[in-house]
Amino acid sequence: MKNKQIILGIETSCDEIGISIYCNKIGFISEYTYSQTIHEKYGGTIPELSSKENIKKIISIILYSLKKSKKKVNFINAVAYTKGPGLKSPLTIGASIGKSFGYTLKIPCIGINHLEAHILIPMLFNKNIKFPCLAILISGAHTIIFKMITYDNLKIIEESQDDGIGETFDKIARALKLKPYSGKSIEKKVTYRKTYKTIKYLKNKTIENQEKISFSGIKTNAINYIKNNKHINIEDICYNFQNEIIKTIISKCRKIIKTYKIQNILLGGGVAANQELRLNMRELTESLNCTLLYTPKKYCTDNGSMIAFLGYIRMYEGKKEKNLKINTFPKLKIN
């Protein structure tokens, strides 16, 4: 779009409030992610607590973001919010606020698919994408490898048959009592490229047997290992577990890249913030003569910027919502 456009992005699919303001001529002029810690004592996100937090904080975060952007609210040309997938009540808060802004300011309001936003944000940082390419989505609940024919036409090649990759990390962090219960805490325990003791019990057998992506076996083995061994070395467990998870993804991608003869690989989702995974993925793509397209780490985990950016693309395509009905889709998929 030639004219200057400013988009407010609102992300509230789980336990974060991500607010971002994107200008097509400048880039992000304000970005803020508030991560709720209230859920830690429960061991998992409680949807009602999350939506209560959202109600309490979201307006002040939007006002703070506007102040940071040095733009008055009437400079906003469109508002984009996450319509799904995610938790129903937190999604509803974001959608209600988005629609209210749209209605009051008489500007377009656009519901965004959170999964598409994760996949497409690397496009902002890598301009020359060669289609078809491969899009790898590795977030909390999702582990999906897509063939991307154009940026709006994605076909699933393979996905996890059971647990999501990020959830698997979360469960092991919880079993090891590493707060916050996230892959980030596992990663912190591992020093890159140091030598660790191999724990055979923590092998993901699906790799050797070339089976579809699956994490439930290694998850159960890791939890049992932690429960049944009195003297465990946390660093060794974190290393072995993280290494197997990375190997699972890398071995799948190697096979798929060779089969589909693809040149560009897009990487998105919270687990894509893992440094060792990024290094392995880069080594793999370089060895196969293709290019890895990814983002700085802060755009891998949930954020309002990916919503604002995709909102801009959707606005460009003319996909605006005309009604005030608040529709959210907790189980939304791609296509």
| Residues at the contact surface with ligand KG4, assessed by CB under 6 A | 118, 139-141, 166-167, 169-170, 182-184, 187, 269-271, 273-274, 301-302
User: What's the min distance (Å) between Cβ of 154 and Zn ion?
Assistant: 16
Choose the contact partner of 31 out of ligand KG4, Zn ion, none; CB within 5 to 8 A by kind.
Answer: none
Q: Which is nearer to ligand KG4, 101 or 169 (CB)?
A: 169
Q: How is residue 202 written in tokens?
A: 């923590």
User: What's the min distance (Å) between Cβ of 76 and Zn ion?
Assistant: 24
Q: Which is nearer to Zn ion, 89 or 139 (CB)?
A: 139
What part of residues 295-314 is at the interface with Zn ion (CB under 5 A)?
A: 302
User: What's the min distance (Å) between Cβ of 218 and ligand KG4?
Assistant: 14
Choose the contact partner of 157 out of ligand KG4, Zn ion, none; CB within 5 to 8 A by kind.
Answer: none
User: What's the min distance (Å) between Cβ of 176 and ligand KG4?
Assistant: 13
In whole angstroms, give the CA distance from residue 273 to residue 286: 19
Choose the contact partner of 271 out of ligand KG4, Zn ion, none; CB within 5 to 8 A by kind.
Answer: ligand KG4
Choose the contact partner of 295 out of ligand KG4, Zn ion, none; CB within 5 to 8 A by kind.
Answer: none
What part of residues 92-151 is at the interface with Zn ion (CB under 5 A)?
A: 139
In whole angstroms, give the CA distance from residue 123 to residue 309: 10
User: What's the min distance (Å) between Cβ of 128 and ligand KG4?
Assistant: 25
Q: Which is nearer to Zn ion, 28 or 239 (CB)?
A: 28
Choose the contact partner of 328 out of Zn ion, ligand KG4, none; CB within 5 to 8 A by kind.
Answer: none
Kind of pairing, strands 153-159 and 27-35? Answer: unpaired
With vertex at residue 99, the alpha carbon angle to CA 98 and CA 104, rounded to the nearest 5 degrees, is: 105
Q: Which is nearer to ligand KG4, 29 or 300 (CB)?
A: 300
User: What's the min distance (Å) between Cβ of 39 and Zn ion?
Assistant: 16
Binding site for Zn ion (CB under 5 A): 139, 302
